[in-house]
Structure 1
Amino acid sequence: MEKPVNNQDMNDAAAIGLPEEPSTAPDFPVFGETALAVPFDDLASFDPAATMNDGLDAVNDVPLTMQAVLGRARMTISELVQMRPGRVVELDRKVGEPVDIYVNDRLIARGEVVLIDKVLGVTLTEIVREED
């Protein structure tokens, strides 16, 4: 049966299971001493983009929904059911105003509508920060 450790025994290394030989303890610098310099790898070859992408490999294939919103309109249900081809719906934006880019229903950017080879696209003009 082990005897209980009291404050007197705390000064006795063997009583609390510490090695008695100081040579087995790690060699830490003494207060005021400078630790040994550890050489760094060549920082010129460091690529932060590659480091960031390493952590994203697990989520690269996760699907998401991206929307380019030209504008919005409000109407009643009766107006909606009366819609026919050729009807113009007035949006809350003017021609030339930026469109909002949403990813999973969260605004992330704004951009301009472009036409390239008869395909509509959006050129990003502004990244929206969360505090915006």
Structure 2
Amino acid sequence: MSDENNNQDQQALADEWAAALEEQTGQAGVDADALLDDVQSQAAPSAQGVELDELQDDSVPVTDPKLDVILDIPVTLTMEVGGTEIAIRNLLQLSQGSVIELDRVAGEPLDVKVNGTLIAHGEVVVVNDRYGIRLTDVISPQERIRRLK
């Protein structure tokens, strides 16, 4: 089973390289099978997978090691109303009462960002004389990853 998965992985890698070479050179018909043969010939023939025992420290109780490590890390959550570009000359002329036009239309949802990455959209609400935001659209994790690329 492991050899079959390895061959599939190598075939997929060869196909990706063939597509990249085709895109780069503009030549159609790059032979993925020839690339696969090259990859397999360069791989060490004696390399084999080895199963290792999992290391554990029984003295430390662990509830969920995947999440416990990151749950207390602070992040910065910001709500962005809008933005604009302004020349330094105009920036220096701003005074109390100046109005700066933003690139958003009134009533348009705000961007909710965590450490600068868009995660949701929302609208401003007031709760007990404090501003808040009601989330209207949350970006899926898959979409967030796609936007990073």
TM-score after normalising by structure 2: 0.50
Percent of counterpart pairs with the same letter?
A: 40
Map of 2:108 onto structure 1: 97
Q: Does 1:116 align with 2:110?
A: no
Matches within 5 A, 1:1-132: 54=64, 55-128=66-139, 129-130=143-144, 131=146
What CA RMSD, in Å, does the superposition of the two structures yield over aligned residues? 1.6
Give the Å deviation of 1:118: 1.3
2:97 counterpart letter in structure 1: G
Q: Distance in 2 between matches of 1:113 and 1:66?
A: 15
Q: Which runs of 5+ in 2 are unaligned?
A: 1-62
1:15-66 CA distance string (max 9 Å, x none): xxxxxxxxxxxxxxxxxxxxxxxxxxxxxxxxxxxxxx93311111111111
1:109 counterpart SS class? strand
Q: Distance in 1 between matches of 2:86 and 2:99?
A: 13
Give the Å deviation of 1:117: 1.4
Q: Distance in 1 between matches of 2:98 and 2:82?
A: 16
1:59 counterpart SS class? coil
Q: Distance in 2 between matches of 1:118 and 1:87?
A: 25
2:125 counterpart SS class? strand
Q: Compare CA radii of gyration and give the structure with the larger one.
A: 1
Give the number of the structure whose residues are more often helix, by fraction.
Answer: 2
Give the Å deviation of 1:78: 1.0
1:67 counterpart letter in structure 2: T
2:69 counterpart SS class? helix
How many residue pairs match? The answer is 80
